Amino acid sequence: MHIHEVITMKNKSELIMNNHASVRNLISWLFGITVFAIGLLNMFWGNDFGFGILIILLSLVYFPPFNTMLKVKTGLSIPGVIKIFIGIFILWAALGVGELFGKIDLMMMDFIE
């Protein structure tokens, strides 16, 4: 192998790694915004202000700037596996126990009237 081929292969692998990180960040942002919205719904239309606050606080783990700040301040980061378990808990609590779709209906009725 020539040095040029080695450099090109290294650049391609770095590009692929950067693309994977970008996709993970995008997914994290989208899920964080969704969870944040679920928290707001629970606070204002679900008669469960405390649960809504908990969901909003849990949504922070999905925002990349929060993860960066956590890493800088404490030296700790939240592993992806933990984020997946938190996400499953949030979805289970919001969709199953929290009756999310009923709360969305209540919110829509407020906006229509």
Residues 65-113 have pLDDT tens digits of 999 999 999 998 899 899 999 999 888 888 776 576 677 777 777 777 6
Task: State the pLDDT confidence band at 6, using cuts at 50, 70 and 90.
Answer: very low
Contact 52, 39 (CB under 8 A): yes
Higher pLDDT, 62 or 11: 62
Q: Which long-range contacts (CB under 8 A, 24 or more apart) does 88-93 make?
A: 90/35, 90/38, 90/55, 90/58, 90/59, 93/51, 93/55
CB 74 within 8 A of CB 13: no
Q: In the prediction, which pLDDT does 17 show?
A: 62
Residue 98: what pLDDT? Answer: 59
pLDDT tier at 41, thresholds 50, 70, 90: confident
* Domain span holding position 41: 3-112
15 pLDDT band (50/70/90 cuts)? low
- What was the pLDDT predicted at 54? 93
Structural domain tally of the chain? Answer: 1
Q: Which of 12-16, 35-39, 103-107 has the highest mean pLDDT?
A: 35-39
Which two three-digit tokens encode residue 98? 């929290």
